[in-house]
């Protein structure tokens, strides 16, 4: 109440003072501009100025309010567009997962310009177009994906390579991946895709160069890479041997085959499958002495039934020494049916027919295999033991095809 009283008293005092000033002298203001003349008292001029300032203040506040309202409407429209884009994107991704390629492409592509992450929309739409076999739309959407997001060339390139691999465009896929590898030499997924495309192209040489990097980056489990490396080198040796056979001339150059053997990693040089493949190719290419030397050195330190079987088939420089070497191994492995079979064959090379038959029969007693049946049948025939040869032949066929025991007619 005291504040209100004081405010009222001050207002009355100011009003009385203002009235007294006006009554003493109203003042005079004259404004001339061109042909116009304005004359008034000082107090009316001051009132006009106050009113003008108040009007300008009101207009300024109104303009700010209108501007703020327009911005709100704009933000509202922008928010609505983003919500629609999100809904279309979600619907498109669901349709992509369900295999509705056409609708997925439409929703994802139309929502992309307003989407928060247009790159995802365009890449998914490109996948949908690819599934429809529409190469033109796929390329166009990949290009838009690249243009939509700076620094997205790696993501776009990887997607493109995946699509090319899926459509069996192996050469184009390889070109894309090699370009990407220059940008990211150790990118795990790029290396994995390279591995896949080299496998599909059966480019064993490039795959053999890539495998060490796959190991360093741990692209797959160790045992998977071991299997891949074995497959790679076996095929590379076979491919090289085929190329040598196609060479013209009577003498065959096996230098390239030997170079591949020299390039083998240490683990592969101890792998019996690789050793067997290399030795067998040497033997088939007329380098049986080299094959025998290799097998003999390996078998001294690492026993392998696979390799001893091949050792019995190759012919070294000295069949006598080869037989003696194998017979020394028999002292440690007297019941090894594969070694006994190999000894029978080495005895044949030395024209020891009786010894060969004994070794074959010993192997046959331990394990009956088509190989022992065949060798016994052939040897008996050449020894003119035709009845026994026929028995080995018939029994071998029966065991091979699994004929059941059934009554048969007999001579009267």
List the alpha helices (DSSP H) in 202-265.
204-216, 222-245, 255-263
Distance (Å, rounded) from C-alpha 210 to C-alpha 229?
10
Q: Which CATH architecture has domain 337-402?
A: Alpha Horseshoe (1.25)
Q: Is the pTM of this model over 0.75?
A: no
Q: Are 148 and 118 in contact (CB under 8 A)?
A: yes
Q: What does the pLDDT read at residue 75?
A: 46
Average pLDDT, the chain: 83
Q: Mean of the pLDDT values across residues 154-173?
A: 89
Instruction: Write the pLDDT tens digit of every residue in 20-32.
Output: 655 665 566 666 6
Q: Are 237 and 281 in contact (CB under 8 A)?
A: yes
Instruction: Write the pLDDT tens digit of every residue in 91-112.
Output: 877 877 888 878 877 777 877 7
Q: Please, which pLDDT band fits residue 396 given cuts at 50, 70 and 90?
A: confident
Number of DSSP helices (H) and strands (E) in the chain, helices first = 20, 2
SS3 382: helix
Distance (Å, rounded) from C-alpha 207 to C-alpha 193?
12
The DSSP code sequence of 47-104 is HHHHHHHHHHHHHHHHHHHHHHHHHHHHHHHHHHHHHHHHHHHHHHHHHHHHT-HHHH
């Amino acid at each position: 109440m005291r504040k209100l009283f004081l405010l009222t008293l001050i207002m009355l005092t100011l009003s009385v003072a203002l009235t007294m000033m006006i009554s003493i002298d109203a003042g005079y203001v004259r404004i001339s501009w061109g042909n116009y003349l304005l004359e008034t008292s000082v107090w009316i001029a001051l009132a006009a100025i106050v009113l003008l300032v108040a009007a300008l203040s009101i207009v300024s506040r109104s303009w700010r309010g209108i501007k703020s309202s327009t911005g709100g409407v704009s933000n509202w429209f922008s928010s609505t567009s983003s919500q629609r884009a999100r809904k279309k994107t979600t619907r498109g991704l669901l349709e992509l997962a369900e295999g509705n390629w056409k609708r997925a492409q439409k929703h994802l592509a139309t929502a992309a310009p307003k989407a928060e992450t247009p790159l995802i929309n365009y890449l998914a739409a490109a996948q949908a177009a690819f599934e429809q076999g529409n190469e033109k739309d796929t390329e166009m959407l990949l290009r838009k994906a690249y243009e939509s997001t700076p620094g997205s060339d790696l993501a776009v390139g990887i997607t493109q390579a995946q699509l090319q691999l899926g459509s069996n465009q192996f050469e184009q896929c390889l070109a894309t991946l090699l370009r990407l590898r220059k940008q990211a030499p150790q990118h795990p997924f790029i290396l994995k895709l390279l591995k896949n495309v080299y496998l599909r192209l059966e480019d064993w040489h490039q795959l053999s160069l890539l495998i060490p990097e796959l190991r360093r980056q741990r692209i797959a489990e160790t045992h998977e890479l071991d299997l891949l490396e074995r497959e790679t080198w076996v095929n590379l040796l076979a491919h090289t041997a085929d190329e040598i056979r196609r060479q013209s001339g009577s003498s065959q150059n096996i230098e390239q085959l030997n170079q591949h053997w020299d390039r083998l990693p240490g683990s592969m040089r101890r792998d019996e499958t690789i050793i067997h493949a290399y030795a067998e190719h040497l033997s088939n290419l007329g380098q049986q002495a080299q094959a025998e030397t290799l097998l003999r050195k390996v078998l001294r330190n690492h026993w392998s039934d696979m390799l001893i079987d091949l050792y019995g088939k190759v012919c070294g420089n000295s069949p006598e020494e080869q037989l003696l070497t194998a017979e020394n191994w028999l002292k440690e492995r007297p019941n090894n049916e594969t070694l006994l079979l190999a000894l029978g064959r080495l005895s044949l090379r030395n024209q020891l027919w009786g010894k060969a038959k004994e070794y074959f029969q010993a192997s046959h007693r331990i394990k009956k295999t088509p190989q022992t049946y065949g060798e016994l049948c052939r040897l008996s025939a050449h020894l003119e033991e035709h009845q026994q040869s026929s028995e080995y032949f018939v029994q071998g066929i029966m065991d091979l095809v699994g004929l059941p025991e059934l009554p048969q007619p007999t001579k009267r």
